[in-house]
């Protein structure tokens, strides 16, 4: 933007002249402004009080409910005690507890447990230990029946 060079005196004269123009005051109402400001601050004041009042009411309600619940519970417990004194409960029948310990069978000498115990007791003898003979797996007593196939004649089964 170009800044025209104006002589300082001209500028001051012009500024003085322009500053002498008085902005219009028509339509400006200080009383209306003060009324609006007062109303706004009053509304704000009410809103400021709303939260403390609400939280106070909630705290009071929580306290009353707590006291009521405590008294109710103590009355109930007293009633239960009175009923128990009037009608005592029959003692529970003496049922023998199931024996949870099962009779143990001695583990097979080739089982992992036996081998582990032997190694723990005599680790030095482990290398000289005779290798037990490998037993052939037991065959089932009765062979499985062959599955009939559609393409095989029945006499071959």
Partner 1 sequence: MPPLEPTTLGRLYRQHAPALRLYARQWADGGEDLVQEAFVRLAQQSPPPEQVLPWLYRVVRNLALAGQRSATRRRSRERKSSSPVAWFAAADDQLDAQEAARLLAELALELREVIVARLWGGLTFAEIAPLVGCSLATAQRRYQAGLAELKKRLEGQWTPRISPPTI
Long-range residue pairs from 125-129, CB within 8 A, at least 24 positions apart, any chain: none
Does residue number 21 form part of the binding site for partner 1 (CB under 8 A)?
A: yes
Residue among 22, 87, 145, 149 that touches partner 1 (CB under 8 A): 22
Query: By C-beta, is 20 or 96 nearer to partner 1?
Result: 20
Q: What whole-number distance in Å separates Cα of residue 135 and Cα of residue 114?
A: 17
Q: What whole-number distance in Å separates Cα of residue 5 and Cα of residue 18?
A: 18
Site for partner 1 in 44-73 (CB under 8 A): 44
Residue among 9, 25, 97, 141 that touches partner 1 (CB under 8 A): 25
Structure tokens at 105: 């069978």
Which range in 34-42, 52-60, 88-96, 140-148 contacts partner 1 by CB under 8 A? 34-42
Compute the C-alpha angle 146/148/149, nearest 5°: 125
Return left, alpha or beta for 137; rule: phi > 0 is left, psi -120 to 50 is alpha, else beta: beta
Which range in 32-40, 75-83, 115-123, 140-148 contacts partner 1 by CB under 8 A? 32-40
Does residue number 99 form part of the binding site for partner 1 (CB under 8 A)?
A: no
Q: Rounded to 10 degrees, what is the CA torsion of 126, 128, 133, 137?
A: 20
Residues making up the chain, counted from first to last: 157
Does residue number 9 form part of the binding site for partner 1 (CB under 8 A)?
A: no
Smallest gap from residue 1 Cβ to partner 1 (A): 6
Q: What whole-number distance in Å separates Cα of residue 100 and Cα of residue 95?
A: 14
Q: What whole-number distance in Å separates Cα of residue 78 and Cα of residue 155?
A: 86
Give the count of residues interacting with partner 1 (CB under 8 A). Answer: 31
Smallest gap from residue 33 Cβ to partner 1 (A): 5
Residue among 9, 18, 131, 145 that touches partner 1 (CB under 8 A): 18
**What does the binding site for partner 1 look like in residue numbers (CB under 8 A)?**
1-4, 6, 10-11, 14-15, 17-28, 30, 32-34, 36-38, 40-41, 44
């Amino acid at each position: 933007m170009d800044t025209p060079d104006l002589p300082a005196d001209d500028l001051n004269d012009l500024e003085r002249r322009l500053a002498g123009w008085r902005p219009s005051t028509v339509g400006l109402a200080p009383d209306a402004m003060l009324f609006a400001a007062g109303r706004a601050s009053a509304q704000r004041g009410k809103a400021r009080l709303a939260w403390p009042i609400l939280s106070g009411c909630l705290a009071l309600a929580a306290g009353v409910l707590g006291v009521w619940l405590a008294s109710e519970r103590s009355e109930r417990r007293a009633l239960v005690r009175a009923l128990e004194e009037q009608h005592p409960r029959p003692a529970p029948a003496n049922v023998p507890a199931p024996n949870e310990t099962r009779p143990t069978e001695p583990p097979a000498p080739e089982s992992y447990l036996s081998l582990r115990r032997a190694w723990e007791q005599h680790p030095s003898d482990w290398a000289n230990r005779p290798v037990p003979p490998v037993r052939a797996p037991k065959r089932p007593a009765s062979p499985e029946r062959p599955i009939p196939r559609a393409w095989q004649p029945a006499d071959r089964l």
